């Protein structure tokens, strides 16, 4: 399948990265550390995308240790596991941050770098949800699903914002900087406290805050539940702010501002199906949530990848996602028996072709395999197309920068 038509490729040469980072932590702590220390550890011959991919490998290693020690997301791990998660995530953040600096100093900046960087970040989002759930002993249930929803929505909205405003905007407190550092601290503290069960205690009681007039329900909220409460407020605030950014940017260009909000419907439509499927199939929710989270993460990564590609080559906003179709079929198949049992008229229902046992589990894994295949073909096709057109390589530097050459001979990554 062709994802980028040849007549759109010349738009790649008009690409110019635009980003604003208002984070004080980034400005006064992280960037000086990256510029004066970290970037010097990488040779000039190392491609920026290879740095990005190497950083992602640390998260993959974290995922593998999670699957070995805590595949059900509700068991305590040895303390060193949590420390390794903290170190791996910090290394991922560091490598993800310095790839841009490497691109600039090797004169390899270009649209492929943004596509590759965002694609890796999109995949990392769902993997990190699983690791965080394991660090909190959330288990396989609705709390983990809610955390996944919030994380994927944040990334989707940020990409949707960038597509319309043409600028990646990070606030004073944002996920890629402070959010990641908080997670690093949580993982390290989990190891120090002896396990994830610590976070399931009542936060106020553990901190010896007197209950006073507080109702029992509020006073007994665990550390994890308080984290989810504050995360809800942050999610709503960031979503509203992104919507305002998009409306202002489109009005400044004379475009219809509110129509851009329709771009959020594909995400919420997909998640309506996700929630319906998990509600209709509790066996998947409580017994096989880890592979389903991976499936939902790839579905979101595919949507985000389409948006980034459309931004780079100036395509219309991508509203469709073919990976939603098997999920919709799963919902329809699971809904039939429920209607047969509870609908006032028997003809409103139909028997399930999959049931709720081994065939349903096989179907879920088939959806995961299909998602990986479709997303993989998308990634390969887009990367190969861009590399061929710009005469570059993805993970190595094809045309090293030489001081004194004409600008026209500089090759962009």
Residue of 107, 118, 164, 311 with catalytic role: 118
Strand partners, 21: 170
CB 299 within 8 A of CB 150: no
Could you tell me the two tokens for 10?
Answer: 């010349």
CB 124 within 8 A of CB 59: yes
Dihedral angle, C-alpha 93, 145, 235, 271, nearest 10 °: 110
DSSP strand pairing (168-170 vs 19-21): parallel
Cα distance between residue 304 and residue 298, in whole Å: 10
Query: Catalytic annotation on 107?
Result: no
Lookup result for tokens 């999670």: 66
Long-range contacts (CB closer than 8 Å, 24 or more residues apart) made by 30-34: 30/97, 30/177, 34/94, 34/97, 34/98, 34/101
Residue among 185, 183, 181, 188 nearest 94 (CA): 181
Q: How far is CA 105 from CA 55, 97, 100, 343, 348, in A?
A: 19, 14, 9, 66, 65
User: Which residues are part of the catalytic machinery?
Assistant: 118
């Amino acid at each position: 399948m062709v994802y980028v038509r040849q007549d759109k490729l010349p738009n790649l040469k008009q690409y110019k990265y635009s980003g604003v980072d208002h984070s004080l932590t980034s400005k006064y702590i992280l960037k000086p550390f990256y510029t004066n220390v970290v970037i010097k550890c990488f040779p000039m011959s190392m491609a920026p995308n290879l740095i990005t991919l190497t950083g992602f490998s640390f998260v993959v290693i974290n995922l593998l240790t999670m699957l070995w020690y805590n595949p059900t997301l509700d068991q305590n791990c040895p303390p060193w596991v949590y420390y390794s998660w903290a170190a791996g995530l910090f290394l991922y953040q560091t490598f993800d941050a310095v790839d841009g600096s490497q691109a600039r100093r090797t004169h390899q900046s270009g649209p492929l770098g943004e596509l590759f960087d965002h694609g890796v970040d999109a995949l990392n989002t769902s993997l990190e949800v699983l690791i965080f759930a394991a660090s909190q002993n959330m288990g396989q249930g609705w709390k983990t699903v809610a955390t996944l929803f919030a994380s994927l929505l944040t990334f989707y909205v940020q990409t949707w914002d960038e597509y319309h405003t043409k600028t990646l905007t990070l606030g004073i407190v944002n996920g890629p900087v402070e959010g990641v550092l908080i997670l690093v601290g949580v993982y390290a503290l989990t190891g120090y406290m002896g396990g994830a069960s610590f976070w399931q205690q009542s936060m106020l009681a553990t901190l010896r805050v007197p209950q006073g007039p507080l109702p029992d329900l509020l006073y007994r909220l665990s550390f994890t539940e308080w984290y989810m409460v504050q995360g809800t407020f942050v999610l709503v605030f960031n979503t509203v702010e992104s919507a305002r950014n998009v409306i202002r940017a489109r009005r400044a260009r004379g475009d219809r501002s509110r129509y851009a909000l329709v771009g959020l419907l594909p995400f919420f439509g997909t998640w309506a199906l996700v929630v319906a499927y998990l509600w209709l199939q509790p066996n998947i929710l409580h017994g096989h949530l880890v592979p389903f989270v991976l499936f939902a993460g790839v579905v979101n990564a595919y949507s985000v990848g389409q948006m980034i590609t459309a931004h780079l080559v100036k395509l219309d906003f991508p509203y469709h996602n073919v990976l939603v179709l098997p999920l919709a079929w799963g919902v329809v198949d699971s809904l039939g028996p429920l209607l047969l049992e509870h609908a006032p008229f028997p003809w409103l229902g139909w028997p399930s072709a999959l049931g709720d046992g081994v065939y349903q589990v096989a179907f879920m894994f088939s959806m995961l395999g299909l998602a990986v295949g479709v997303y993989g073909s998308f990634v390969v096709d887009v990367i190969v197309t861009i590399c061929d057109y710009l005469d570059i390589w993805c993970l190595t530097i094809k045309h090293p920068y030489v001081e004194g050459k004409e600008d026209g001979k500089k090759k962009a990554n």
